[in-house]
Amino acid sequence: MIYDALYGRQSLDKKDSISIESQLEYCRYETHGNPYIEYMDKGFSGKNTRRPGFEQMMTDIKAGKIRRVIVYKLDRISRSILDFANMMDTFHAYQVEFISSTEKFDTSTPIGRAMLNICIVFAQLERETIQKRVKDSYAARSRHGFYMGGRIPYGFSLKKTTIHGISTSMYQEVPEESSQLKLIYSMYADPSHSLGDIVRYLEEHQIPHLRGARWTTSRLSELLRSPIYVQSNLEVYRFFQNQGTKIHNPACDFTEGRGCYLYQNPALDDPSGQSLSEKELVLAPHQGFICAKTWLACRIRCQNNRRSTKTCKPKHSWLSGKIKCQNCGYALTVRKSNTKWGSYFVCSQSGSAKCPQGSGCTVYPSVLEAYLAQAIKDKLKELPSPAHSLPLQSPGQSQAALRLAQIKEETACLLEQIPKAGDTLMAYINQRIEQLDAQRQHLMQELEISSKKSPSPAKNLYDYAPDWEALSFPDQQSIADALIQVIYIGNHTMEILWRF
């Protein structure tokens, strides 16, 4: 027996939306007594065709069970031009008529099909307009510090509050959990403790994760990077400013010890999510419980760890962590193979929806290393002589250099305030500048001592180039990290982004 297909869809159950039952009632009138099958999708958007009721209907069409598809309105079945065109191709192939009970389309005539296509264009426009409106509303609420849902961070619970006369929620400290986080932050602020050391310490002292999860290095890294815990001050403001983060609160607001919300920049269509320059920072209504100095020490250390490749094992490549896929921006990793090369680089997202094609070509570590070794030598010859004498910096030296840059910026900001400063502000400026200058001198002394303790202070980047093959794996990694920011590999293409 051949049936009419009655299709109804409702994404949200709202007062001003027509229910599926009402839609199907309109559709039944169009059957004129013919047998029919009802297909329903409740809680599904029309932006795509991944809907169980729709998929079952298309299966029955291909099985020859359906002769007509009847809907209440065109946008109930699709709001995508591409999906609608594919659906109509299927209808045409199986000689299935399409009927909209309220719009009276006749797909058997050219003008009817043309009008149908015009309507689906406006249906897609309406969907995209709604998406844009929701996205803008979310961004606006985020910038005002409203709670936007999601998983409640470890160390906090939710409580009701009011912001700008609007009811929302905010975080409040959970002492049992925050005490654990304070211990974790204090341990990681000490460079002698690694993430693995902290995990082992927590396990040996039977300090359980109070939400039932296990302590892992990846979980600790996530907690240590989050600004939700920091007692924000001007130093935190300067840190994110230096990273290129878009900050929605003025610097003068960073004096109350409040935590921060870090959001993805909505202006980016396809963000990688790794760089802080792709983020937006908003002061949260709750108070942080990790002091700014400790939080910054941990955050900078996490940042240095991400940039460094010193954790890579020699059996892989001294380029590991430097190479990214040109198609998706994710890192290329090394995989073993039974070929004469022994291993090859492959996109970490290869075959997934993020990067279906991968990097597009096979890259062997030994071949790439040989090419990059020569490129490094050639690059060193191009650099002016002062760059040749740049010493390799340790993580501690990098951190000190970053702090010096922050001190320089804050000092410049304070000096700009002098022309309009009163007596009270002028006294604060003088006091703060004296403190900053003392910190600067102390850091300069530390850098000088550190450079003197270096195992080979006279050895610079240029000196290493002729003996590249004789260098140890860590030395090769250090030099590559000092010179190369990232290497993008694409379909038979390669782009090297140098630091100089």
pLDDT in tens, 457-466: 334 555 555 5
Q: So what's the pLDDT on residue 384?
A: 57
CA dihedral 149, 154, 157, 158 (to 10 degrees): -10
- The two structure tokens encoding residue 23: 């839609």
Q: So what's the pLDDT on residue 472?
A: 67
Distance CA 218, CA 196 (A): 10
Q: So what's the pLDDT on residue 15?
A: 65
pLDDT in tens, 209-237: 999 999 999 999 999 999 999 999 989 99
Q: So what's the pLDDT on residue 432?
A: 81
Q: So what's the pLDDT on residue 456?
A: 43
pLDDT in tens, 272-287: 456 788 889 999 999 9
Distance CA 347, CA 319 (A): 14
Q: So what's the pLDDT on residue 359?
A: 54
Q: Which residue has the tokens 């191709």?
A: 89
> For residues 489 and 123, which has the higher predicted lDDT (pLDDT)?
489
**Exposed e or buried b per residue across 281-307, where buried means at least 16 C-beta atoms within 10 angstroms of its C-beta:** bbbbbbebbbbbebbbbbbbbbbbbee
Distance CA 234, CA 410 (A): 9
CA dist list (Å): 128 to 26, 46, 81, 124: 27, 11, 12, 6
The candidate with the shortest Cα–Cα distance to 364, out of 347, 348, 341, is 341
**Which amino acid type is present at position 349?**
Q
Q: For the chain, give the percent of residues with pLDDT over 90.
A: 30
- The two structure tokens encoding residue 99: 């009927």
The residue-averaged pLDDT of 236-241 equals 90
Is 60 exceeded by the pLDDT of residue 347?
A: yes
Q: So what's the pLDDT on residue 140?
A: 75
Is 60 exceeded by the pLDDT of residue 271?
A: no
> For residues 322 and 158, which has the higher predicted lDDT (pLDDT)?
158
**Model pTM greater than 0.85?**
no
**Exposed e or buried b per residue across 231-252, where buried means at least 16 C-beta atoms within 10 angstroms of its C-beta:** bbbbbbbbbbbeeebbbbbeee
Distance CA 277, CA 244 (A): 4
Q: For the chain, give the percent of residues with pLDDT over 70.
A: 78
The residue-averaged pLDDT of 474-494 equals 78
Q: Which helix (H) or strand (E) holds 442?
A: helix 423-453
Q: So what's the pLDDT on residue 309?
A: 39
CA dist list (Å): 122 to 57, 69, 116, 135: 25, 21, 10, 20
> For residues 62 and 318, which has the higher predicted lDDT (pLDDT)?
62
Min mean pLDDT across 115-124, 149-158, 165-174, 232-241 is at: 115-124
The residue-averaged pLDDT of 341-353 equals 74
Residue 317: phi and psi, rounded to 5, are -155, 145
Distance CA 144, CA 283 (A): 8
**Cα-to-chain-centroid distance, residue 12:** 29
Distance CA 20, CA 32 (A): 20
N- to C-terminal Cα separation, the chain: 75
Is 50 exceeded by the pLDDT of residue 311?
A: no
Q: So what's the pLDDT on residue 181?
A: 96
Q: Which residues contact 442 (CB under 8 A, 6 or more apart)?
A: none
Q: So what's the pLDDT on residue 70?
A: 92
Q: Strand pairing of 156-163 and 230-231?
A: unpaired
Average pLDDT, the chain: 80
The residue-averaged pLDDT of 251-275 equals 76
Q: So what's the pLDDT on residue 464?
A: 53
The residue-averaged pLDDT of 62-87 equals 85
In this prediction, residue 313 has a pLDDT band, given cuts at 50, 70 and 90, of: very low
> For residues 69 and 483, which has the higher predicted lDDT (pLDDT)?
69
- The two structure tokens encoding residue 43: 């809680």
CA dihedral 298, 291, 159, 169 (to 10 degrees): -70
Is 60 exceeded by the pLDDT of residue 481?
A: yes
Give the E-state strand segments of 150-212 in sequence order: 156-163, 166-173
Distance CA 128, CA 434 (A): 55
pLDDT in tens, 134-157: 777 767 777 777 887 888 999 999
Is 50 exceeded by the pLDDT of residue 97?
A: yes
Let me know: does 96 contact 107? Beta carbons within 8 Å: no
Q: How many helical (H) and strand (E) elements, i.e. helices and strands, does the chain have? A: 15, 16
Distance CA 123, CA 81 (A): 9
Q: So what's the pLDDT on residue 231?
A: 95
Distance CA 146, CA 144 (A): 6
Q: Which helix (H) or strand (E) holds 120?
A: helix 110-143
CA dist list (Å): 244 to 141, 275, 279, 299: 22, 9, 8, 15
Is 80 exceeded by the pLDDT of residue 59?
A: yes
Distance CA 129, CA 449 (A): 60
pLDDT in tens, 368-421: 888 888 888 787 777 655 444 444 455 555 566 667 766 776 777 777 777 777
> For residues 106 and 222, which has the higher predicted lDDT (pLDDT)?
222
In this prediction, residue 255 has a pLDDT band, given cuts at 50, 70 and 90, of: confident
Say how many CA atoms lie within 13 Å of 2 toward its Cβ.
11
Q: So what's the pLDDT on residue 397?
A: 57
